[in-house]
Amino acid sequence: MKPCIHRGQITGDRCVCLNTKDLCHSGTVSLEICGYCPFAREPDFFAQTERLLLSKQHGGQYRPQPRSCGGCGSFKRRDDTLQFVWPYWHAGASGDELRWSIRSVETNYDGPCKITIIGDRPPWYRGHVIEQARVEPQGNRGFRDMLAKMWTMASHPQIDSDFVWMMDDVYLIKPTTWDELDTPRATRWVEDRRNSWQRRKSNTMRALRANGHTNHDYATHLPHAVEKSKLRQLFADYDLHQNTYLWEVLYGNIHRGKPWHTKPFFARITDRISPEQLQAATAEAKILNHTAGAWCPAIRDYLATLLPTPARGEVQDSGYQPQWRRVTKLAAGRGRLVKRRPKVQA
């Protein structure tokens, strides 16, 4: 469509143009519609707000539907089985969070799914596990172990070409679709170098900027939809066998579209919480996550009530008894959570 280059007059909110062939063929066009016309101006924010309020009165709360591509206008649908993959180190778990994470996927993912664990096999689980020992104890062991498991996801023949990366303390607490899982979500990144995690994130952002990429913070504790070939390429492009960059931050900024915010889709619990507070915090959320220090009877009871059906690979009579142990150390006057392997009764 050719732009209107003819001089005309502005009367109120109308562009009066004498051209009868191109854009303004009717002779009078709304300035909001006449986007190519030199007389056009920005849409009236207050008029748009008024229309949205009227629409809300007639049709209820207006919520724009996120687009899984990040704004390209198309929606991805899938009817095939989707693989969910958890990297896992059993001795590092606070309790049996993984049990509820797996249950939540089998209960609330809107479609057929299959479950895979990479790492240790929990004593209460008999499903699909790709066993992988933890990396040798050297510097950055936790980060290196995660990246070693990510390489297994990128290269192992038993991992599908598309999968969802999970963590054992992430739960689908309401019915969740593929579109919602595949929608890019990030937060605004503000540089913070007070600990090794934040310094590592800063190094990752610096590497992205050096290659002309954005700096959205995709380290959100949400599930991540991953294409296996793109993950494998990250290892080659950023030498992730040697560099302990945050893979999800690299992947999101390189391979995803413009992100949506994590709220209210996502709720993260960082402190021990009462059942009433937990209900309020998750009222609008579909994904729940908590820190290791926040794992407590209230969250476990909430998940047990919400997800009563055992997973397909779960051994129900495992004899697991939840533990809530804390060992305090004099470190700046604060206690530090110590993770212990839960005892399994014979």
How much is the pLDDT for 328? Answer: 40
How much is the pLDDT for 315? Answer: 86
Interatomic CA distance for residues 346 and 337, integer angstroms: 27
pLDDT of 35-75, one tens digit each?
444 444 444 556 666 666 766 666 665 555 554 444 444 44
φ/ψ of 227, rounded to 5, equals -95, 125
Arithmetic mean of pLDDT, 310-317: 84
Arithmetic mean of pLDDT, 18-28: 44
Residues paired with 118 in a beta bridge: 87, 130
Spatial CA neighbour of 88 closest among 155, 162, 166: 166
User: Mean pLDDT score of the chain, rounded to an integer?
Assistant: 81
How much is the pLDDT for 252? Answer: 97
How much is the pLDDT for 279? Answer: 94
Least confident of 13-22, 96-105, 330-339: 330-339
If one compares 148 and 319, the residue with the highest pLDDT of the two is 148
Which residues have CB under 8 Å from 178's CB, separation 6+? 68, 76, 77, 78, 82, 110, 111
Alpha helices (H) in the chain, listed in sequence order:
45-59, 97-108, 141-155, 178-182, 196-210, 228-238, 247-255, 275-281, 297-306
Arithmetic mean of pLDDT, 8-12: 48
Q: How many CB atoms lie within 10 A of CB 187?
A: 15
| CATH assignment, 82-306 | 3.90.550.10
What are 257's two structure tokens? 């579209």
pLDDT of 113-157, one tens digit each?
999 999 999 999 999 999 999 999 888 899 999 999 999 999 999
CA 203 to each of CA 147, 248, 286: distance values in angstroms, whole numbers, following the listed order:
16, 13, 31
φ/ψ of 229, rounded to 5, equals -65, -35
Arithmetic mean of pLDDT, 9-19: 49
How much is the pLDDT for 138? Answer: 84
The domains of the chain are located at 9-59, 82-306
How much is the pLDDT for 57? Answer: 63
Arithmetic mean of pLDDT, 250-269: 95
What are 18's two structure tokens? 């004498």
Interatomic CA distance for residues 282 and 264, integer angstroms: 9
What are 233's two structure tokens? 């390429």
Terminal CA-to-CA distance of the chain, rounded, Å?
76
Of the pLDDT bands very low, low, confident and very high (cuts 50, 70, 90), residue 220 is very high
Q: How many CB atoms lie within 10 A of CB 315?
A: 15
Q: Is residue 336 over pLDDT 70?
A: no
